[in-house]
Structure 1
Amino acid sequence: MSSLIKTKVFGIFCLLQCLALYAIAQQANAIKPYKVGDKVTSLASDSIVSPKESTIDLETYRGKAIILDFWATWCKPCIGAFPKLQAMQQKYQDQLKIILLSTDKKEKLNHFYSVRPEFDLPTIFYRGRDSINKLFPHAYLPHYVWLDTAHRVFAITNADELTEENIKHFLQGKKIDMYQKDDSLALLDLRGMVVDSIVNTDGLINSISIDSVIAYGSQISRYDWRVTGGRSINKHGYENRYLEFRNNSIPELYRFAHNGYRMDKADKELFLIDSDRDGLLPPASNDKKAYKEFEKNHTYSYRVILPPHKADSALRYAYMQRDLEEFFGLRAVYEERELDCMVLRCAESAVLATKGGKPHFAVQYLDYFTLQNQPVEKLILGLRTFYVNYIGRGLRQSYYPIINESGIIGNMDLDLQHVTSEEKLIQALKQHGLSLTVEKRVVKVLVLK
């Protein structure tokens, strides 16, 4: 075969390959997200992480209702709902199948199952760019898709709708007035920003970009549903002079401005609201319509970019404090108040002194708690990271501050494994001579007034 013919054959082969790839791309782009009323025929995945199941085929569950739970090992509300899901699966096993889906690494998922032998709901592992992510698009976790007995989409909800009453009516085929969660990418309208645009990261986070012409300034903007709530503490090219908090209530913005967003301050700084001004506190979380209305009318975003010669991590927060007080007319001041606190004590018989070695600190919520050659301050930080006694009283006081009366001097070792609940963690601490009790103490409080 001559070189000319070989060249032509190779060219034809390349053309066919390009056409094949183009066809695949077109097919992927043609995938339409499921909506309420659509029939789901396949989950388009055969990669299962579960101690009991190797494959999942929807046809196997013909005649059964299904709940798809999209979750991640870092999602605390997701894991917090698992005992409820497990109980519902056992109670309604003849009528209902609960299937979990996650983009976490298989190693993390396998470890999650290995330390929880009582938990056997199957998880489908899939990648963020798989077709399953296009069929069930979502920006926030947890994310639940309810399929009726004909496997048609009955509802798409968050965790609030996962109640015993709703499950019961769902299985009975009754109509339920549930809040329909819809944070799919199809909703995004990228128009309307004058100097900025909205950046989407793999369908998970939508943030406001920084137009390159903006060199310095600060701004407060109203709620934007297109933008994912959260924060950006720094940005490449704007080191120590950039700060952004997105879609937060007024008290949350003040709290961040004065306390920062560092976990090592969470046990030291307490925030209270001493004002009757409307729009400061959200309504009850179970009143979804009222909460959405509050979010629309009373949440804001803040951003500051300092000039290069003023690049300073703390100065960003000073600018934020100034801007918030000027715009909202509220002050945040430190006062001493008597409040309920969690007091940490240590029994004389406790053996916690370190054996030395390289300092190590690791805490995984509802999993493990490890200190090696660390001071007691790290223990308190770990307790707060673990969400110990997060009492959920909202912004007026979301947790009890932890007061250290342990008397521990010097570094310590502590290794707690398989602590899959706050109660188990407290019990494990008792076995090591440590106790946490709720008592009144006078503490320094940041008061919004």
Structure 2
Amino acid sequence: MKFLTLLGVMVALCLYVNGQTYKALKVGDKVPDISLTNLYNNPTSALKLSDLKGKYVILDFWEPYCSSCLEALVQLEHLQAKYSSQMQVITLVSNGTKEKILAKLQAIKPLSKFSLPIAFHNDFMYKLFPHEIVSHVIWIDPTGKIAAITGSKNITERNIIELLEKGKVNWQMKVDASTFDYNAPLLSATDDDNQLFQREAFYSVVTGHKKGIAATNIVTRDTLNGKLMISNFNETLLQLCNSTITGAGGATVNPKYLILETPDPSKFIYDSTIDFDTWYAQNSYCYSAVLPYETSKEDIRSFVRANLAQWLQITKGVSVTREKRMINSMVITKSTHAIKVNIAYKNISSNQFKTFINSTIGNLTWFFNHDAPGLPPAVDETGLSKSDRINVAIPLNVLNHFDQLQKSMAQQGLLIRIEPRLQDVLVVKQVIHQN
């Protein structure tokens, strides 16, 4: 117990520099010249921000349980290598031991040789930059001032170039609402005594984006008042469209199986001409419904489907259906010819190839459908069973060049072609209102 008390004092002292106690920092504030310690992948175990004077500094707070954080690390490593003369990325992590965190990185192929500096357990940095949701990214300009605070979606080359060229940016800033109660009724923000939830009131409500809270789904049961509340926070408009089919929230929609027959597709699919956080704030919503406690799961789904379908039709002018349609697809068949190229699969770099060693055609098809966004939906017509094994190595640089991908696959005994196939798709179409 004494050790914990002493540790708390030491952490507090880390924030007391040159006779001044520092509070949580915001955009425009000067970052104090405090040392980052417990550094890995750095020539020294400690580093001051003043050591990086003249460069932009990106502090990326992440955690090993966060999949989007891990994806951002891959992008950050690429951008650091490309713009190393103008910026420096430092990653910070606090959840877990150093050994477990490094083991997590090494188990992920794109991060197995991760080279960016990692600052382990720098508690004072979490006091300077408090947050509830990761990734939490601090962008510091060469003068030591905070230029932006964002999530990982802003880690793009376009944003890096904008920051380097302009020095100032007008992005949507990340805000974490640490006191938000996900289990409270969505309307209670204007009802301090929370009477709305306690009265004989059953209702549904849709609000706009709520800053500083996570995108999540909550089910709350109030046995005392006999109520059941479902809440979906900060879901995109497309996710709400999908809920009219599933009756549940949270699921993402694969754009390969999406048909938009609307005048403005950017309300449903991210428009890369603006930064993600701005788009997300404009096109995400919170939905909540309070129903009788005994409402069955199927009745809940039926209510959500009908309720959101009505809201979308009236307020957004769209209807949503699940249909079978003929759309261009990437058909995979097995070559009748011998494989022309013998690839040494064991020596292939994971940074340059996506490999399927002793794998199945199902795994390959899944990859094309979920991790290769530039390709149409893949259809397996090889006739191979789940027990049949394949060895395929796909160069990552051909995924956006169909003719090159086609050639590479053919060399390994698989043929691909684009042909119409009947697919199960989500259709969002404009509704013509009759006067």
Is this a same-fold pair by TM over 0.5? yes
Alignment of 1:371-410 (within 5 A): 380-381=365-366, 384=369, 387-391=370-374, 400-410=376-386
Q: Is the 8 A contact 1:268 1:401 kept in 2?
A: no
Q: Which ranges of structure 2 fall in alignment gaps of 5 or more residues?
A: 16-20, 340-349, 430-435
Give 1:338's aligned residue: 326
Measure, in 2, the Cα distance between the counterparts of 1:371 and 1:210: 60
Give 2:141's aligned residue: 148
The reply to whether residue 411 of structure 1 matches residue 387 of structure 2 is yes
Give 2:57's aligned residue: 66
Kindly state the Cα deviation for residue 59 of structure 1 after the two structures are TM-superposed: 4.1
Q: Which ranges of structure 1 fall in alignment gaps of 5 or more residues?
A: 1-13, 199-208, 352-363, 392-398
Counterpart of 2:308, as a letter, is: L
Measure, in 2, the Cα distance between the counterparts of 1:69 and 1:50: 15
The reply to whether residue 254 of structure 1 matches residue 249 of structure 2 is no
SS in 1 for 2:424: strand
Give 2:305's aligned residue: 321
Change (3 A) 1:265 1:253: closer
Q: Deviations over 1:297-317 (max 9, x none)?
A: x543223466555433x5433
Change (3 A) 1:292 1:157: closer
Give 1:137's aligned residue: 130
Q: Is the 8 A contact 1:48 1:125 kept in 2?
A: yes
TM-score calculated relative to the size of structure 2 = 0.65
Kindly state the Cα deviation for residue 337 of structure 1 after the two structures are TM-superposed: 2.7
SS in 1 for 2:382: coil
Measure, in 2, the Cα distance between the counterparts of 1:197 and 1:26: 34
Measure, in 2, the Cα distance between the counterparts of 1:87 and 1:50: 14
Q: Is the 8 A contact 1:64 1:96 kept in 2?
A: yes
Counterpart of 2:217, as a letter, is: S
The reply to whether residue 440 of structure 1 matches residue 420 of structure 2 is yes
Give 1:121's aligned residue: 116
The reply to whether residue 88 of structure 1 matches residue 82 of structure 2 is yes
Measure, in 1, the Cα distance between the counterparts of 2:133 and 2:4: 36
Identity among equivalent positions (%) equals 20
Kindly state the Cα deviation for residue 56 of structure 1 after the two structures are TM-superposed: 3.0
Measure, in 2, the Cα distance between the counterparts of 1:252 and 1:265: 6
Alignment of 1:25-424 (within 5 A): 32-42=23-33, 45-50=36-41, 54-72=45-63, 74-75=67-68, 78-90=72-84, 92=85, 95-103=86-94, 105=96, 106=98, 107-112=100-105, 115=109, 116=111, 119-126=114-121, 130-158=123-151, 167=160, 175-179=167-171, 181-185=173-177, 196=188, 213=198, 217=202, 219-226=204-211, 228-232=213-217, 243-259=230-246, 270-276=257-263, 280-281=267-268, 284-288=271-275, 292=278, 295-296=281-282, 299-304=284-289, 307=292, 309-312=294-297, 314-329=298-313, 330-347=318-335, 380-381=365-366, 384=369, 387-391=370-374, 400-412=376-388, 423=399
Q: Deviations over 1:116-161 (max 9, x none)?
A: 576522122337xx33222123455544323233423233345676
SS in 1 for 2:47: coil
Count of paired positions: 390
Kindly state the Cα deviation for residue 388 of structure 1 after the two structures are TM-superposed: 2.0
Change (3 A) 1:26 1:293: same
Measure, in 2, the Cα distance between the counterparts of 1:210 and 1:383: 51
Q: Is the 8 A contact 2:57 2:139 kept in 1?
A: yes
Q: Is the 8 A contact 2:76 2:89 kept in 1?
A: no
Measure, in 2, the Cα distance between the counterparts of 1:82 and 1:36: 21
Give 1:9's aligned residue: none
Q: Is the 8 A contact 1:50 1:122 kept in 2?
A: yes
Q: Is the 8 A contact 2:354 2:394 kept in 1?
A: yes
Change (3 A) 1:445 1:61: closer
Q: Is the 8 A contact 2:335 2:410 kept in 1?
A: no
Kindly state the Cα deviation for residue 281 of structure 1 after the two structures are TM-superposed: 3.8
Change (3 A) 1:265 1:34: closer
Kindly state the Cα deviation for residue 32 of structure 1 after the two structures are TM-superposed: 1.7
TM-score calculated relative to the size of structure 1 = 0.63
Q: Is the 8 A contact 2:219 2:229 kept in 1?
A: yes
Q: Deviations over 1:52-96 (max 9, x none)?
A: 654333343344442223345511651452354233344x1xx53
Counterpart of 1:284, as a letter, is: D
Measure, in 2, the Cα distance between the counterparts of 1:62 and 1:375: 51
Measure, in 1, the Cα distance between the counterparts of 2:331 and 2:195: 45
Change (3 A) 1:447 1:346: same
Change (3 A) 1:21 1:57: closer
